[in-house]
Amino acid sequence: MTKKRNDLRNIAIIAHVDHGKTTLVDSLLKQSGIFRSNEHVEDRAMDSNDLERERGITILAKNTGIEYKDTKINILDTPGHADFGGEVERILKMVDGVVLVVDSFEGCMPQTRFVLKKALETNLKPIVVVNKIDRDFARPEEVVDEVLELFIELDANDEQLEFPVVYASGFNGTASLSPNPADQEETLEVLFDAIVEHIPAPVDNREEPLQFQVSLLDYNDYVGRIGIGRVFRGTMKVGQQVSVLKRDGSTKNYRVTKMYGFLGLKRIEIEEAYAGDLIAVSGMENIDVGETVCPIDHQEALPELHIDEPTLQMTFLVNNSPFAGKEGKWVTARKIEERLEQQLQTDVSLRVDPTDSPDAWVVSGRGELHLSILIENMRREGFELQVSKPEVIIRTIDGVRSEPVERVQIDIPEEYTGAIIESIGERKGEMLDMINNGNGQVRLIFLVPARGLIGYSTDFLTLTRGYGIINHTFDSYKPVAHGRVGGRRHGVLVSMETGTVTGYGIMQLEDRGVMFVDAGTEIYAGMVVGENSRDNDLTINLTKIKHATNVRSATKDQTVTTKKPRIMSLEEALQYVGDDEYCEVTPQSIRLRKKILDKNERERVQKKKKLGE
């Protein structure tokens, strides 16, 4: 009979964005007694970087360990966004079971489906937590039925279908086995017990030759690359000589210099680790995801980890606008290239390819969010750069040109259904399902080409007056849809002059469209300063000054109020930018500009293009 390590459990917490994974892990940490009674623990302690805290999302997978009675439970908190699906997939290889968290009101969402599908394919044992049980309009029993339907739809085996259900409030740190909120117990003990009872213990084969596989990467300026993974077999000790079996088939020998285990939010140096342990290893330079560490005299690789291919690409360029170098600290090609190389150390779903120009790189990622977070981090670190419009990556599959298609789930009030179906139809979307919940809300499910969704969220918010919720996740590659798919419907207003925007200039031209700048903003010729109300681009002068006259009248100098400009966030700017434009990103500003700044030159190129067609 196989020997088990009954003192250990390895689990991953999976869920759709915002269903409360990280808050639940917080409560588990606080109740496990790991923190001293006087120790201050921040909310969402696992979301450690600023962007995660501001947006309330998990971007990087985090691991923690807690002690419960006589069992150590290693918990991996995973990202819910499909853009970080590569992380989720690799994490699931490190664990023996998953805790699927589902919101008691929203029920199953696109990413619930995405993460659960990956977990079931990896043959993991699930526990379902119906979270936010104390929410208004919670419908826990219906949600459990939805989850069961989803399990059946995803071909779960009989054992997986026998999942235990825990009803909890991660925020309050309470749980019970009853769907009635009044029956909630004061602690999460019910969940701890369910984990110990239902999640399989790792196999204890510490006597056999070592096999350790890296699933995640971290980077530290002092020790370099850190490989995080699981010991699948054998024992690993500090000082041991080992071989790393590289992805390209080569091998490299190293000495294990440092190993860390996880307890609470800390990494603890350890001397040895056994089969089943999740550890971090440093001192093996250039170690990569999926590579196996084993004894020099017993080289046996574990199956390679599948890493999701990028679906979206953008060109990153050195900033060459008239305002280049005014606001940023790092502006040279060398610095930008170094930063992109550094990102590749830890982000395996990212690709960076050089171009013919030494000042430009093609950066490919898993989606808009994936790339925009990289740009936002660079901007906060003091970088200045320009980026092009995001484009989907077309692949040739079995001789057919294919593009990524997203599964889109939309929740909207009933009266907006017609407008949304029409707008998705224009983007070559195909409707799969329409569910009317009977409470005035409708759920629509579509398959839409990914390029049709670039820039759609602004239109979506306008069409639903802000009442709609849209979620999408990568579905598959399908043959390229012919004809126009989405794109911007309006032209832009382009500045003719370099100078300062005046209130008078805006007042004269605001009936032409929506402005993106306020009075007092510095602008340059060729910069996009607004959206035209028509479908052509228009060059305008916003720096006009009102000429003084010696004629006075009682009403002439009354204060004139101008409309509020639309100031874009980075994500909105990336969605808005056109084919012939760049988005200029600096630590202080986000500007849209034409690739060709000179008006006459732009018009010449436009004419040539039309003649060529």
Q: DSSP assignment of 275-330, as one string?
A: TT-EEEEES-TT--TT-EEEETTS--PPPPPP-PPP-EEEEEEE--STTTTSS-SB
* Rounded-to-integer distance, Cα 553 and Cα 611, Å: 53
20 is in an annotated binding site: yes
26 is in an annotated binding site: no
132 is in an annotated binding site: yes
* Rounded-to-integer distance, Cα 562 and Cα 567, Å: 14
Distances in whole angstroms, Cα of residue 180 to Cα of each of 24, 99, 100, 147: 19, 20, 20, 18
131 is in an annotated binding site: yes
Comparing CA positions, the residue from 194, 128, 205, 119 lying closest to residue 167 is 128
CB-based burial of residue 562 (10 Å sphere; 0-12 exposed, 13-18 middle, 19+ buried)? middle
CB-based burial of residue 76 (10 Å sphere; 0-12 exposed, 13-18 middle, 19+ buried)? buried
Buried b (16+ CB within 10 A) or exposed e, 424-444: beebbbeeeeeeeeeeeebbb
Strand 360-365, strand 351-354: pairing: antiparallel
- The crossing angle, in degrees rounded to 10, of helices 456-463 and 417-426 is 160
23 is in an annotated binding site: yes
Contact 86, 364 (CB under 8 A): no
CB-based burial of residue 279 (10 Å sphere; 0-12 exposed, 13-18 middle, 19+ buried)? buried
Buried b (16+ CB within 10 A) or exposed e, 178-201: ebebeebeeebebbbbbbbebbeb
Both tokens of 319, joined, read 């900033």
CB-based burial of residue 247 (10 Å sphere; 0-12 exposed, 13-18 middle, 19+ buried)? middle
- Residues pairing with 585 in the sheet: 385, 590
Q: What is the radius of gyration, based on Cα positions, of the chain?
A: 27
Distances in whole angstroms, Cα of residue 338 to Cα of each of 158, 190, 285: 50, 49, 17
21 is in an annotated binding site: yes
543 is in an annotated binding site: no
491, 419, 369, 74: CA torsion to nearest 10: 180
Q: DSSP assignment of 366-435, as one string?
A: SSHHHHHHHHHHHHHTTB-EEE---EEPPEEETTEEEEEEEEEEEEEEGGGHHHHHHHHHHTT-EEEEEE
Number of other residues whose CB lies within 10 A of the CB of residue 337: 17
Cβ within 8 Å of residue 40, ≥6 positions away: none
502 is in an annotated binding site: no
Strand 469-479, strand 441-449: pairing: unpaired
93 is in an annotated binding site: no
* Residues of the binding site: 18-23, 131-134
* Residues of the binding site for GTP: 18-23, 131-134
